[in-house]
Chain A
Amino acid sequence: MTLAITNSSIFECETGNYHTFCPISCVSWLYQKIEDSFFLVIGTKTCGYFLQNAMGVMIFAEPRYAMAELEEGDISAQLNDYEELKRLCLQIKKDRKPGVIFWIGTCTTEIIKMDLEGIGPQLEADIQIPIIVARANGLDYAFTQGEDTVLAAMAHRCPNTIQCSKQSKYNTKRLIIFGSLPETVVKQLNHELQQQNIHVTGWLPCSRYSELPVIQSGDYVIGVNPFLSRTATTLMRRRKAKLISAPFPIGPDGTKAWIYKICNVFNITPKGLEQREKTIWNNLEQYLQLIQGKSVFFMGDNLLEISLARFLIRCGMIVYEIGIPYMDKRYQSAEIQLLTDTCKKMKVNMPKIVEKPDNYNQLDRIRDLQPDLVITGMAHANPLEARGINTKWSVEFTFAQIHGFTNAQDILELITKPLRRNTSIHNGDNIYIKS
């Protein structure tokens, strides 16, 4: 492969003692995305407590989610898992009438080896509602990887034959995009591709389970998010789809590269793409002035880090460290290549990529480096601010709209917020922050 990837000196791996969200948190955005779904998290009070607090006010809006809280009898196998799950799912069916029920396996179901994949299909036949099993637990995965496990499980359910053979008028090649994004962003990206005469055949997931896209062998698939490696693997191995490896459409540079790659595969010469990127950069000028030359440190917790760092370097920032929970060098290869190229272009050193970081050591490095901005979880944000270090809460990047040309501005809104806040406080009486 390329130089950057074989050159292992930029990759490091620490102890894995870092703070992140449990992957079951994906429930909070996926139940909103898939409108006819119901998510049943089979776990303990610990899982419930996390979701209840992490979801904040959403929890009061009658979410289509619930805990199947395991009691001592379930752990010691005095109760029959099948019967218990049947009782609960029948109640959900009665109360909520969902189109699909997702079972989210947790650490506890892993450890007691509850056979969810075995029970699922039986119960599905029994109660006549599709049941999809995803093991999104904290033993194996971090935060956004939860979505990956769910989408990988859904990939198996995509139909594989087209009912009425409606051929696309644009191209004969079929393109399915995977990754959960808000409907608005889906439309924006569809529109961007439409401009290039590329018709998107379907999205995994889409807003209703019943509308899952057909995936046939030989179809093209492309991801929108860097944490979807299992889904990509499943689509390639099980559905025999062809994966388009591209950087992710985050930032105008990423979006251009993403579209460019698709055009390439579809044998289309992109129209006006360069110009489009340029216009977006011009519109960002105001923000760029604020951040050029400033340094940033990613502690790492959601796997968006490489793409964001690449975009920020292109914006003129200096990235000291890219912490990341897990690094799939194959799935992210095009992104890493773009990062390498961007560093060359901007004449900066390639930042260190630290997999499974150790937060304690990172805080040490932050103390030494005194970066202008630390992108980190909420556990460290206030204590760092109290020590005079600007922070941006990393989770916001997973909930804000950051994909495509249209939303590049939103990323910089987030990034510059602490910096702008500080300027406005400084302009005041300078009562708190030391100069």
Chain B
Amino acid sequence: MKVLVPVKRVLDYNVKPRVKADGSGVDLSNVKMSMNPFDEIAVEEAIRLREGKNGGGVTEVIAVSVGEQKCTETLRTALAMGADRAILVQTDEKVEPLAVAKILKAIADEEGPSLVILGKQAIDDDNNQTGQMLAGLTGWGQGTFASKVELAPDSVTVTREVDGGLETEKLTLPAIVTTDLRLNEPRYASLPNIMKAKSKPLSNKTPADYGVDVTPRIKTLKVVEPGKRQAGVKVADVDELVNKLTVLGIRK
């Protein structure tokens, strides 16, 4: 069976975002970009399934990215980790989750994967929507915020991280899974694998190839920095801390 893994190129998670002075957005010029951390976990899980761990039966892992030409780098990273081939759906437009989900639906129709594994959210727009939207459009079951995935020939059992604890659901294949942080520890791509990834197939498409209109539905009017906190004080010892807490009425 095939697994489809959508990956997104985002501002590296260690970089502190800077809001542009004109309020038009976050400054992405000359900053380090990387694969969205949740997507790395998704790629890792797909590869583990192909390696026969957590069920197995997976024969091919296809990485997909929607965005500008530079997303090729992100796809090469996925290929170096072990994905078999990649599809870049190229557009310079900022594509919203709904449009990404529609493109992924069209790719799913074409490729017929048994499983689509996505990250639970991208750390740039923090939407947490694409996987659920794709599940809605395909009518497939969705195992969101997965911390454990067990694949069987016709079903997948997903343990999900929910408020208060864990929940387990069994989904009929084909199905959608979105990854949470504790699902696995993604591997590093080795140098030989990075070299090999350069010759793996990567096809170039556009949203128009899939008949998807990517015109945004949501307009960003402005982006500002959050309110700054007042500078605090440092206290010298526990007694002083207890006094402060007492003055503030925090002591029970």
Do A and B come together as binding partners?
no
Interface residues, chain A, CB within 8 Å of chain B?
Answer: none
